[in-house]
Amino acid sequence: MDNWYVKLFNKSVLKQQKFRYLADFAGDCSNKSCLDLGSDNGVISYLLRQRGGDWSSADLDDKTVSMIHELVEKKVYKINPPLAPFSDGVFDTVVIVDMLEHVADDRAFLNEMYRIIRPGGCLVVHVPFAARISLIRLLRAFLGLTDEQHGHLR
C-alpha cells in the first residue's frame, strides 16, 4: 500500500501498539459482520479488513470518510451521532477508535452501538488518554495544541 497515512502508521510504534490492542480485543472476526468507527484516517479500517470478516467503516467527518473510502473503497458511511444508520443487531463486533471524545452525547451514542450489536456481540472502545499532568500534556500546551483544536468535547 502506497498511502501516506499507512506509511506514517507503519513508522509509529504507538499507533501499531494501539492497533494490536484493538485487534486482540476484537478477536477472530472471520465470518463475522463488523463495524469500525473513527479509523485513524482509514488505516485502522484497512488493517482490520485484512484480518478477515465483513467490515463496514464509518466516521463523523466528511473528509475522513473520503480518506477511508480511498483506502478500503466500499461500505464506508458518514454517521451523525447519536444515531447510526444501521439496522438493529446487524454487527457481531463494533470497534470504536478515538471517537467518543468527539461525540456530544456519548451515552446515547453507546446505547446506539448496543442497539446495532447482535446479542452476545463485542464492543471494543479506545479513547485517548493523557494524564492531567504529564510530559505529553505539557509539551502539547507549550506547542499550543489543545483538545478543542482536535474537536475533543472532553
At 49-58, the pLDDT tens digits run 999 999 999 9
Q: Is the dihedral of CA 95, 98, 99, 103 positive or negative?
A: positive
Q: Lowest mean pLDDT: which of 26-30, 61-65, 115-119, 140-144?
A: 140-144
Q: How many CB atoms lie within 10 A of CB 99?
A: 22
The β-bridge relationship of strands 117-126 and 54-59 is: unpaired
User: What's this model's pTM, rounded to 2 decimal places?
Assistant: 0.80
CATH architecture of 4-150: 3-Layer(aba) Sandwich (3.40)
What does the buried/exposed string (b/e) look like for 131-147 if buried means 16 or more CB atoms within 10 Å of the residue's CB?
eeeeeeeeebeeeeeee
- Say yes or no to pLDDT of 42 above 80: yes
Burial 38-76 (b: 16+ CB within 10 A, else e): bbbbbbbbbbbbeeebebbbbbbeeebbebbbebbeeeb
Q: What does residue 152 show for φ and ψ, rounded to 5 degrees?
A: -75, 130
Q: Residue 153: pLDDT above 50?
A: no
- Residues 7, 42: contact at Cβ < 8 Å? no
Cell numbers placing 73? 473503497
Domain extents in the chain = 4-150
Task: Measure the CA–CA gap between 131 and 116, rounded to whole angstroms.
Answer: 32
